[in-house]
Structure 1
Amino acid sequence: MSEPRWLSEPDQKAWRSYLTGSQLLTVQLDKELRDSHGIGLPEYEIMVRLSEHEDRTMRMALLAMDTTMSRSRLTHSVARMEKKGLLERFSIAEDGRGVNCQMTEAGWNLLVTMAPTHVESVRDHLVDLLDPEEMATLGRVFGKVTAHMREIGKGPVDTPPIDSEPSTPGS
Structure 2
Amino acid sequence: MSRMVEPRWLNRQEMKAWKAFLAASHLVERRVEHQLRERAGLSHPQYEILVRLADAPDGALRMTELADSVVTSKSGVTYQVAKLEEWGLVRRYRCPTDDRGVNAAITEAGREKLREIAPEHVAVVRASLIDLLDETQQRAITEGLETVARTLRATGGDGVR
Range class of TM-score, shorter chain: over 0.9
Match of 2:154 among 151, 167, 171: 151
> 2:41 corresponds to which residue?
38
> 2:17 corresponds to which residue?
14
> 1:28 corresponds to which residue?
31
Distance 2:132 2:96 in 1: 48
Match of 1:114 among 102, 113, 117: 117
Match of 2:135 among 108, 129, 132: 132
Deviates more, 1:149-158 or 1:4-13: 149-158
> 1:57 corresponds to which residue?
60
Distance 1:151 1:84 in 2: 35
Which one-letter code corresponds to 1:113 in the other structure?
E
RMSD value over aligned CA atoms? Answer: 1.3
The structure showing larger relative contact order (alpha-carbon pairs under 8 Å, at least 6 residues apart) is: 1
Distance 1:138 1:115 in 2: 23
Q: Percent identity?
A: 39
> 1:165 corresponds to which residue?
none
Contact 1:68 1:156 in 2 (8 A): no
TM-score normalised per structure 1: 0.88
TM-score normalised per structure 2: 0.93
Match of 2:94 among 71, 91, 96: 91
Gaps spanning 5+ residues in structure 2: where?
Answer: none
Structure 1 runs of 4+ off > 6 angstroms? none
Which one-letter code corresponds to 2:155 in the other structure?
I
> 1:67 corresponds to which residue?
70
Aligned residue pairs, count: 158
